[in-house]
Structure 1
Amino acid sequence: MTWHLGRLAAFDTETTGVDVETDRIVTAAVDARGGGMEPEAGEWLADPGVEIPVEAYNVHKISTEHAREHGDPAEQVVHEVTAELAAQVVKGGAAIVGHNVAFDLTLLDRECRRYGLPTLHDRLDGHPLHVIDTRVLDQHAVPYRRRVSEKQGARQLITLAQFYGLPWDDEAAHGCSYDAVAAARIAWRIGQLAHSRRRDWPERVLAERRLRFHAFRDLTLAELHALQVELAAEQAAGLQKHFRKTDPNAVVDGSWPLRPSVEPTATTDEPEGATA
């Protein structure tokens, strides 16, 4: 069975911000489908225990007040989401799928550590974790796609949905369930293109330059995962090189699918925020 036809557990979060070390989960969704099994879906709303900044509210439209009134305790949500992902991997043999999913997996890892809970890796009981990141795959397969507009980038989820011929609902977008399912469908379309003849690809796909979908052809899940580790590092290095044209100290972390945990460094003779 080719990798895109197996069980896919789509995962997405909406959060208080974009810093995996300090921000919190507000909503999370796990939507598992395919692999000859019945679909399973779950969505969680958490009271993150901190204020939800206006910038985050403007994305997902969940206020601090709403989360406090209707959300479950953050520790409970983090435990249940992590347990569900682990069950999909261990019992269902699923690959975890998402768009820029390294962010979501790393944030979930930090939330587990914050509450002293077993992490996803702790719960896998030796089973391998296979991840499919639609952003990493798409950037390799379609390396020269340009921005759609000043406001819509080349690698945004909406851009990929449009490129791969999927419907898009602006009202539902940025809801974690909607975004998770969109990522799973995009992953399936990428796999479909990888395993079909170039002459059968849609015109909108063929209009792009130097397509590389066949790099993902006939790979096992383990091979696809290992390839993405390499691709994510290469893509981060390229982005870092670009940023350093204007900021010589710019750093882009290429770790995938989990960024290493950064332990605070205690110092006695350096100002707060300094590193050894």
Structure 2
Amino acid sequence: MKLNLKNPIAFFDLETTGLNVSKDRIVEIAIVKISPNGNEETKTYRINPTIPIPKESSAIHGISDEDVKDEPTFKEIGKTIAKYIEGCDLAGYNSNRFDIPLLAEEFLRADIDVDMRKRKFVDVQTIFHKMEQRTLIAAYKFYCGKDLEGAHGAEADTVATYEVLKSQLDKYEELENDIDYLSKFSTQNKNADFAGMIVFDKKGVETFNFGKNKGKAVEEVLKEQPGYYGWIMNNDFPLYTKKVLTEIKLRNFNM
């Protein structure tokens, strides 16, 4: 089934040095951009992460320090990537919980201004888990009837994710072929940041989603525990989480 698009949509997948959104870096990004007229374009970029790639990560995606030592850093190539996905909604596999938060971190580290909050996000894994409970390899076999060759390569995983979403739309009549709908359906929580550390409750109030203050309104915590802000800012939390927390703090200060 062809996607019903109002805006271009960019399916993407990251290969990284690890799974820590705050500390780890991108070593490869593949993007499949689909236009509303159905045109498809694929780009893959290798990136020098500027930190060593652990052997256990290389064992998964097959990319070593030697493979990327002469590649551009994200700071050098980030503007090219930002321009390529400009105006696009974003989609991926487990992207809401990992790829999008990490990509947002890389843009912030490189001082590249990208307002990703204006985009719609479609997480194909969430749709899959709500419908079938499987992995990407199993999803590709289940929906597309093919074995996924080159699994854990960014481009192979990205193309497979795009094909799985189209097959999901063919299989489930109750799924609407509409990016706004798919974005809402594939969202587990309504996040204020990308890492899900701060989420909106049912009343639209920003609340902490971790630690001793989980479920408590951010504004109230900042009033009652003024040192909590400093603790977060001085510890290993995602830059984007710190950015959102600072916005909330400044908003209340200005009021």
TM-score by length of 2: 0.70
Q: 8 Å contact 2:32–2:41 — kept in the other structure?
A: yes
> Counterparts of 1:100-115 in structure 2 under 5 Å?
100-102=94-96, 103-115=98-110
Once the two structures are TM-superposed, the CA of residue 119 in structure 1 deviates from its matched residue by 2.5
Counterpart CA distance in 1 for 2:90 and 2:39 is 16
> Counterparts of 1:41-80 in structure 2 under 5 Å?
41-69=42-70, 71-80=71-80
Once the two structures are TM-superposed, the CA of residue 101 in structure 1 deviates from its matched residue by 1.0
| Alignment partner of 1:118 is 2:108 | no
| Alignment partner of 1:161 is 2:151 | no
Structure 1 pair 32–186 and aligned structure 2 pair: CA distance change class (3 A): same
Counterpart CA distance in 1 for 2:137 and 2:17 is 21
| Alignment partner of 1:139 is 2:129 | yes
Where does residue 12 of structure 1 map in the other structure?
Answer: 13
Task: For 2:120, give the aligned amino acid.
Answer: H
TM-score by length of 1: 0.65
Task: For 1:104, give the aligned amino acid.
Answer: D
Determine helix, strand or coil for the equivalent of 1:185.
Answer: helix
Where does residue 195 of structure 2 map in the other structure?
Answer: 259
Counterpart CA distance in 1 for 2:159 and 2:115 is 21
| Alignment partner of 1:28 is 2:23 | no
Q: 8 Å contact 1:33–1:40 — kept in the other structure?
A: yes
Determine helix, strand or coil for the equivalent of 1:14.
Answer: strand
Structure 1 pair 16–265 and aligned structure 2 pair: CA distance change class (3 A): farther
Determine helix, strand or coil for the equivalent of 1:187.
Answer: helix
Where does residue 184 of structure 1 map in the other structure?
Answer: 162
Where does residue 244 of structure 2 map in the other structure?
Answer: none
- Matched-pair identity in %: 21
Task: For 1:221, give the aligned amino acid.
Answer: I
Once the two structures are TM-superposed, the CA of residue 221 in structure 1 deviates from its matched residue by 2.1
Question: RMSD in angstroms over aligned alpha carbons?
Answer: 2.9
Counterpart CA distance in 2 for 1:265 and 1:257 is 15
Unaligned runs of 5+ in 1: 90-94, 123-127, 146-153, 196-213, 234-253
Where does residue 96 of structure 1 map in the other structure?
Answer: 90
Give the number of aligned pairs. Answer: 203
Counterpart CA distance in 1 for 2:38 and 2:144 is 25
Task: For 2:121, give the aligned amino acid.
Answer: V
